[in-house]
Amino acid sequence: MPITWPPKLLRSPAVRVGLSISVATGLYGVSFGALSVTSGLDFWQTMALSLLLFSGGSQFAFIGVVAGGGSGVAAMGAATLLGMRNGIYGMQLNALLQPRGWRRFAAAHVTIDESTATSTGQSDPDEQRRGFWAAGIGIFVLWNVFTAVGALAGGALGDPKQWGLDGAAVAAFLGLLWPRLKGREPVAIAVVSALATVLAVPFVPAGVPILIAAVVAAVIGWLSHGRQDEGLEPDIDPYTERHPGHHPGAGQYKGNGTNPGGAK
């Protein structure tokens, strides 16, 4: 990245999108921090997830399984399966940004839904690079700051059920799912997975129904032919966030011909 004066950097559209998405995403780190400590993790376990795992969906999955009485292995399974899509993002970004040396390892750590979407939403290679780093670093910093705030606040709350924090977890997962339900097919996949979960709950240990649903959804993905970037929408779309009312499908800005995985 060329060294530029901050005022010039702030005039970059990609940097501005990256910073606004950082604030929006960082803020919901509060809910993660609070839910994590009320799920039974301590402050440092909560911080370890935000600092080292750093992928919102996987972090919520880990604490969601623990909160439901699931084992550590099941929590790890759900978090790890949910992280697979970051590998696809890494492949797209590697083709797009071609980071070299240590930057490649740093880029990998901040490869998440939002940094990928900010970058692939730009068409100029320099802007793609600036957008990726602005969103990636910005979210990493704010996500961790607000996780700490939430963890400290959550620890002081007392009985989490009285405050409806189990309801907050339900809302958080629905909020993560919602932007991915564009069209009939993803809705069908969601319904089938939810049904498989409900059927499995009485018969297998807590946490395992989630893994069964993952296998069901993976088989559907393997056998059917549909949009290749199904489900690969960011939790908070950087571009609809700025232009409410306009709602592009992820494929519209991912399939710009320069990335191998994002063809429509």
Partner 1 sequence: MSLWVWLLLSCLFAYAWKLVGYLLPDSLLQNPRMSRMAGTMTIGLLASLTIVNTLASGQALVLDARLGALAAAAAALFLRAPFLVVVLAGAGAAALLRLAGWN
The least CB distance from residue 8 to partner 1, in Å, is: 29
Cα 196 to Cα 69, 157, 204, 245, 259: the distances in Å are: 19, 34, 12, 34, 34
Site residues (CB under 8 A) for partner 1, limited to 154-173: 161-173
- Tell me whether residue 15 or residue 63 sits nearer to partner 1 (CB atom): 63
Q: Binding segment for partner 1 among 8-16, 84-92, 119-127, 137-145 (CB under 8 A)? A: 84-92
> What count of other Cβ atoms lies within 10 Å of the Cβ of residue 148?
18
Position among 33, 99, 131, 255 found at the interface with partner 1 (CB under 8 A): 99
Residue 257: DSSP 8-state:
S
Residue 121: DSSP 8-state:
T
Instruction: Give 179-219 as a 3 state SS string.
Output: HHCCCHHHHHHHHHHHHHHHHHCCCCCCCHHHHHHHHHHHH
User: How far is it, in rounded angstroms, from Cα 199 to Cα 6?
Assistant: 55
* % helix, strand, coil for the chain, step of 5: 70, 0, 30
- Tell me whether residue 141 or residue 199 sits nearer to partner 1 (CB atom): 199
Query: How many residues sit in the footprint of partner 1 (CB under 8 A)?
Result: 114
Q: Binding segment for partner 1 among 8-16, 24-32, 122-130, 137-145 (CB under 8 A)? A: 24-32
- Tell me whether residue 64 or residue 131 sits nearer to partner 1 (CB atom): 64
Amino acid at 42: D
Position among 4, 8, 10, 84 found at the interface with partner 1 (CB under 8 A): 84
| Pattern 204-233, partner 1, x by CB under 8 A | xxx--xx-xxx-xxx-xxx-x-xxxxxxx-
Position among 37, 49, 117, 148 found at the interface with partner 1 (CB under 8 A): 49
Position among 13, 197, 242, 248 found at the interface with partner 1 (CB under 8 A): 197
> What count of other Cβ atoms lies within 10 Å of the Cβ of residue 39?
23
- Tell me whether residue 12 or residue 82 sits nearer to partner 1 (CB atom): 82
Position among 81, 117, 135, 139 found at the interface with partner 1 (CB under 8 A): 81
Site residues (CB under 8 A) for partner 1, limited to 118-157: none
The answer to whether residues 22 and 140 touch, using CB atoms and an 8 Å cutoff, is: no
**Pair of tokens at residue 1:** 């990245």
